[in-house]
Amino acid sequence: MISDDLLVCFQAKIKYAKQTIGVYIISICPEVKSVIRFCCALPLLPPHLLQRGLDAIGTEALNLGDPVFYEVVRPFLTYIQHEWLDHINRGQCISVCLSEHRTNNASESNNMRMQRKFGVHHPNAFQFIRHVSGFEDDTVDDICSLSQGIVPSRHRTSASISNDVHIRRITNELLALHNPTHEDILRFLSAASFSVDGIISEALNPGAGYYE
């Protein structure tokens, strides 16, 4: 079961950061970007460590010793607290720790395949039934392939598999700690945030219109 769409979580947080902090400040201040990256990695923490994770990020921002820096990121941290951790709905499902599926990528992939097959936004009934029947045939083929030990043609990329192994490894290391310290949690967030750095960097690009 998908706990929450991690990509939507990224989009909302980064959009708010761009609006409140500004792309220019984010781009020239690596400390600000780190705070944003760490916050985007929060959903990878187990539910009972989410608040401690945000507290650790806030403490780290304060410890940098520059009150101006903290005032820059404080509205963003407040947004994460109120709109995500304390939200009556999002707060219950933001954590995707140990989830088999952390995003809805598979669903979005099928949606894209369907869109390509249909070719139009509103196919007529005959086109719709014909293409849905085709999807059923593809699914049957995949099941038959799997039953014979053959991997279906739609592979995960090696980068995706490597990233998944990395996330699971650092998650298991964190969960093995009886009472992780702020430093342990920050170390986890730092390691986890690098796995999504490409997405975040792309989203912070001024030309990334879908995050505007």
131 within a domain of the structure (yes/no): no
Q: Is 123 left (phi over 0), alpha (psi -120 to 50) or beta?
A: beta
The encoded tokens of residue 170 equal 């650092």
Residue 140 domain-assigned?
no
pLDDT by residue for the chain (212 residues), tens only, comes to 333 445 556 567 777 787 778 777 877 788 888 898 899 899 999 999 999 999 999 999 988 767 788 888 999 999 999 999 999 888 888 888 877 655 555 555 666 777 777 777 788 888 888 888 887 887 787 787 777 777 666 555 666 667 788 888 999 999 999 999 999 999 999 999 876 676 667 666 655 444 44
Domain membership of residue 87 as a residue range: 4-101+179-204
pTM, to two decimals = 0.68
Residue 113 lies in a domain: no
Q: Is residue 35 part of a domain?
A: yes
Domain count for the chain: 1
Report the Cα–Cα distance between both ends of the chain, in Å, rounded.
29
151 within a domain of the structure (yes/no)? no
Query: Does residue 94 sit within a domain?
Result: yes
Say if 111 falls within a structural domain: no
The verdict on residue 197 lying in a domain is yes
